[in-house]
Chain A
Amino acid sequence: MTGVSADASAKLPMTVVAGYLGAGKTTLINRLLAEDHGLRLLVMVNDFGAINIDADLLESRDEDTLTLTNGCACCTMGADLFMAMGDALDRRPRPDHLVIEASGVADPKRIADAGIAESEMTYGGIVTVVDGVEFPRLAEDGLIGPQVRAQAAQADLLHVSKVDPTPDALLALLAEISGASVLDSGAGDPLSPLLFAIPANPRRSAVAAVHPDYVSYSYEGPVAMTRGEIGSLIARRPQGLFRAKGRIAEEGGASWEVQVVGTQVSITRGPAIAVTRFVGIGLASNVTRGEIEDWWKAALPVPHPA
C-alpha cells in the first residue's frame, strides 16, 4: 500500500480547465502559471505543445516536467489521468493547488468529482473556456455538439475567449445551457484570486480595489459556529458568490473547513484553530462586496467571548 498522508491541512484543491480544441485552455494556463499569486501550482496538461513560459521564469525542463522559478510546475499527465493525480498527491512538498487541463472532449465533471471523492483533495471547480467565435457553431455540430454543450453545462465558471465583451447572443445561448457565471475574455487580470480564492492580501494587490471585474470580502476574527449554523449560512449565500473558502472555529476547539465553488459546497472537519478566516469572491457583474459582507455579518452568531 502507498503511504498516504493523513495531514488534513495539506489538502490539495483541484481545478479543471475544460473546453473544446482551440478554445484557449492553454492561453488560460499560461496566464495562471505566470501570475504573481504566490502559490506553488502544479499544472497537468495533455502536451507541452502550447505551453510557453518566459525564459526568465523557467528553471528547468525535462521530458515531462517544466519547473518554474516561482515554485510552480507543469507536467504532462500520460495515459492515465487519475494515476497522475495520485502522483500529484504523493509529491513532497505537496503543491498548493492542482490545475488539470482536460482534453478537448473530456467530460470535466468526471475529473473534477475526484476532488470531492478523495479526502486529501478539495473541489476547486470547473472552468470551461468557451470559444467566443466558434461556440455557437460547435454547439450545433452534429458530431461534437452534445459534448461541447456538456462542457459548458458542467462549468462553475465560463471564460469566454477571443471576443470582448461577450456578445449578447452568446450570453443568451450560454445562459440556456449553463447556470455558470460568465467571465469576459478581457476581464480578470489576474485570474488567480478568483479561481484559487486567495484572500485579498495587503502585501499583494488588493483584488477588489485593483480589479473591477471581481470583488472579494475577507474576514478574520473570533467567531465560532456549529456545523448546522455554517450549513444554513452557506445555503443563504448571495447568488453571485462564486468562490468562498475558510476555516471556521467551533466552540470547544474544533473547526470546519468550508469550500464553495459555484454550486458545489463542502464542509468538512478541520483541526483546532484560534481564529476564524473566511474569504468570499464573486464577479462584479453579479454581486457587490457589500452584499457579501452584509450576508456574512448578518448571519454571524454572537461572537464567542475570547
Chain B
Amino acid sequence: MSDTTVFRAKKIITMDPDMPVATHVAVRDGRILAVGGADCADQWGGASHDDGLSGTVLMPGLVEGHAHMMAGAMWRYAYAGYHDRIDPDGVLWKGLADIDGVVAGLKEYGKRLGPDDPLVAWGFDPIFLPTERLNRNHLDEIDRDRPIAVMYSNFHLMCVNSKALELAGYSRETEVVGVAKGPDGEPVGELREMAAMFPVMRRLGIDFRGLSQTEPAIRSYGKVAVRAGVTTATDLFATIEDGDVETLLRVTGEDDYPLRLVPVLGAIGGSPEEIAAKALRLGERGTEKLRLGAVKLMTDGSIQGWTARVKWPGYVGGQPNGIWNTPPDMIHQLVEAMHRNGVQLHIHTNGDEASEVSMNAIEAALRKHPWSGHRHVLQHAQMMGRDQFRRAAELGIAVNLFANHIWYFGDQHAALTIGVDRARRMDAARSALDEGVVLAIHSDAPVTPMAPLFTAWCAVNRRTMSGRVLGENQRITVEEALHAITLGAARTLKMDGEIGSVSVGKRADFAILGEDPTAVDPSRLKDVPVLGTVMDGRVFRA
C-alpha cells in the first residue's frame, strides 16, 4: 500500500462547500485522500503525520491564470522600478523613488558586474517620477565606460548612456525618429520604440527570446511562483518549438520542480488551421505538470498606451481609437478555426470594443459549431460593462480580469485615459459575478508582480495608489476574491477537476500562509505572509 501523510495545519480553507474548513489533510500519491480532523485518514489504513505546517494556514494552491514566464528571467537584469519588488531568490529590491535613487541603485548594482558586462535595467516608470526626464547624463554618472540601458516598464522606451549611444553610432548626425535630441542637437539618451532601441539592444545582447523556454527561465519562474503561493501558472503567449517541449517536459517533470506550468501557444507564425493543428499536437504531449493545448490570441493594445480599442465615447484626451494587433477579420478566422478544432482560446482584449469583436467572433463560431463546454476566456477584459458580462454568460465565455490595474494605474485611467465613469467600473469583478460569469483575476507578471493575494486585495478594496476607492460598487468579498484566485482561475484553465480546492481526489497543491486571509481585516489581505507551497504533497518553502 502507498504511503499516506496527514498534514496538520492551524486551519485549512478548502474552497469546497462540503467542508469549508478543516485542520488536517491526508495525501497519498500526490493527491488528496481525505480532509477533516486528525483521524481523517484512519479508514484508509492510517498514515504518518507531518506537523511541520501545524502553525500555518493552508489554502488550495493559488492559480495565476495570466502571467508570463519572463517574470522569472527578467531578474537577470537590474530592477529599476518605482515599487518595491522581491526577486525569485527572495531578495527585496527597494523601489527607486526618484532619479537620484535610480543612479545610486544602479551604481551599486554595477559593482557586481564583470568589466565587460553591459548594465541593463528594467521596470523604470516615469509616470511615477514627475520630475526631470531621465537622460544620458544621469546614466553617465553611473559609468562612462560600460554601456547602460534602462528599459521602461512599458517596453516602448529606454534610456541609455553615452557609451551605449556611441556603440549604436548615434550622434548629432543621426536623423532617426525615436532618437530624442536636446536643444544642443545631441541625443539625450532617450530612445523611443523598437526601431530606435534595436541597435542598442543588439549590441548589448538584450534578447527577450532567451527569457522564456530556457532551462534557467523555467526554473526561476518556478521560484517566483513558490514565493507567491502559486502552484499553477500560465505562460500566456508562448512560442513553443519542438525542442522547447523537450526542455519543458524535462524540467517540469523533476520532482522538485514546484509548478504546474500552463504554456499557452501564441497565435502567430501560421495559418489558423496550422495553429490549431499545432495546439492539438502539443496538447497530446501534456503531463500532470505541463499543460499544453490552449491558444492565446492578441486583439488590441493597452489602455494606458491609448492603443486599446474602446467604444464610444473613446479616450478623454481625444486620442484616436487604438490599434488592432490582429485585424477583426483575422480574429474571426482564428476563433473559428480554434473553436472548430476544439481548442480553447485565451483572448487578450483590453478595450470594450475588442471584447465585443471577440464575442461576436465566438458567437459566430458557436452558431456553426455548437460547443457548450468551450470556456474561451477573455483576458484583461478591463472595460467590459454589465451588458457584455451578460452576453459572456450567455455564450459560456469566462473572464480573467486585470484587477491589479486598479491599484497601479487606476488614478491614471480616471484622469487621463477613459475617464472616471468607466474607470469606476474597470475590471468589474462584481458585475461579472452578478451576471454569472466564471471569474479569475490576474497580475500579468512581469507587468505587475505575481502575488494573487495582492490581486485579490485589489478586487476586494479597489484602492488606487493615491488611496481613493475607485468604484466601490464593483468590490467583491474576500471569499469571492479567494475563489477567483483558486477555483475560478482553475476553471478558466479547465483544470478545476484537478486543482483549485482542497477536495478528495484533487492534486495535493496548497499555498502555505502565515495568517488566515478570511480573518484579517480585508484591507490587510495583501499583507498575509506567503510561506511557500505544497505541490503533489511535497513542501516548498519560500
Contacts and interface: CB of A to CB of B under 8 A. Distances in A.
Interface of A: 1-2, 4, 20-21, 46-49, 63, 76, 78-80, 82-83, 85-86, 89, 104-105, 107, 109-114, 116-119, 143-144, 146-147
A260 B180 CA distance: 23
Nearest to A77: B269
Contact of A4 (B203, B320, B326): B203
Interface in B162-214: 168-169, 174-179, 193-196, 198-199, 201-205, 207-209
Nearest to B206: A83
Given A2-B202, A49-B271, A146-B321, A79 B194 contact: no
A36 B485 CA distance: 60
Given A83-B209, A105-B324, A116 B271 contact: no
Given A21-B330, A105-B325, A117 B266 contact: no
Nearest to B270: A47
Contacts of B179: 117
B126 to A, nearest CB: 21
Given A117-B179, A144-B328, A89 B202 contact: yes
A63 B281 CA distance: 15
Residue from the set A104, A111, A117 with the largest chain B CB neighbour count within 10 Å: A117
Given A21-B327, A79-B269, A117-B176, 14 more contacts: A1-B203, A79-B209, A80-B209, A86-B198, A105-B325, A105-B326, A109-B177, A111-B195, A114-B199, A116-B175, A117-B168, A117-B178, A146-B320, A147-B327
A79 B266 contact: yes
B163 to A, nearest CB: 12
A9 B268 CA distance: 35
B241 interface: yes
B431 to A, nearest CB: 25
A215 to B, nearest CB: 29
A80 B174 CA distance: 25
Interface in B111-137: 116, 118
A48 B118 CA distance: 37
B394 interface: no
Nearest to A50: B271
Interface string B262-284: 00001011110010000000000
Given A105-B324, A118-B199, A144-B328, A1 B270 contact: no
A270 B188 CA distance: 27
Contacts of B266: 79
Contacts of A2: 202-203, 205
Residue from the set B169, B202, B209 with the largest chain A CB neighbour count within 10 Å: B202
B202 A80 contact: no
B327 A47 contact: no
7 nearest CB pairs, A to B: A113-B195, A119-B169, A114-B195, A117-B176, A49-B271, A47-B270, A79-B239
Given A1-B205, A110-B195, A117-B195, A78 B269 contact: yes
A144 B327 contact: yes
Contact of A110 (B193, B208, B269): B193
22 contacts: A1-B116, A21-B330, A47-B270, A47-B271, A79-B237, A79-B266, A83-B207, A85-B198, A86-B201, A104-B330, A105-B326, A110-B195, A113-B178, A114-B199, A116-B175, A117-B174, A117-B179, A117-B196, A118-B202, A143-B328, A144-B329, A147-B327
A113 B196 contact: yes
Contacts of B205: 1-2
A143 B324 contact: yes
Nearest to B202: A86
Nearest to B210: A83
B203 A46 contact: no
B119 to A, nearest CB: 12
A29 to B, nearest CB: 16
Given A46-B268, A83-B208, A20 B327 contact: yes
Nearest to A121: B199
A116 B195 CA distance: 8
A62 to B, nearest CB: 11
Contacts of A110: 193-195
Contacts of B201: 82, 86
B323 interface: yes
B416 interface: no
Residue from the set A20, A85, A86 with the largest chain B CB neighbour count within 10 Å: A86
B174 to A, nearest CB: 8
A113 B177 contact: yes
A117 B199 contact: yes
A49 B330 contact: no
B433 interface: no
Residue from the set B203, B208, B324, B327 with the largest chain A CB neighbour count within 10 Å: B327
A49 B321 CA distance: 31
Contacts of A83: 207-209
Nearest to B173: A268
B269 A114 contact: no
B38 to A, nearest CB: 52
A140 to B, nearest CB: 14
A165 to B, nearest CB: 27
A174 B169 CA distance: 37
B327 A104 contact: yes
A25 to B, nearest CB: 13
B305 to A, nearest CB: 13
A105 B327 contact: yes
Nearest to B208: A80
Contacts of B193: 110, 113
Given A21-B330, A143-B328, A1 B209 contact: no
Residue from the set B194, B203, B323 with the largest chain A CB neighbour count within 10 Å: B194
Residue from the set A20, A47, A82 with the largest chain B CB neighbour count within 10 Å: A82
Contacts of A21: 327, 329-330
Nearest to B196: A117
Nearest to A265: B175
B324 A78 contact: no
B357 interface: yes
Nearest to A111: B195
A181 to B, nearest CB: 22
B269 A47 contact: yes
B324 A79 contact: no
Nearest to A4: B203
Contacts of B116: 1
A302 to B, nearest CB: 28
Given A1-B204, A80-B208, A143-B357, A114 B328 contact: no
Contact of B198 (A47, A78, A114): A114
A117 B169 CA distance: 9
Contact of A82 (B176, B198, B241): B198
Contacts of A78: 209, 239, 269
A49 B327 contact: no
Nearest to B238: A79
Given A2-B203, A83-B208, A113-B177, A46 B195 contact: no
A175 B274 CA distance: 38
A146 B321 CA distance: 9
Contacts of B239: 78-79
A153 B194 CA distance: 20
B74 to A, nearest CB: 15
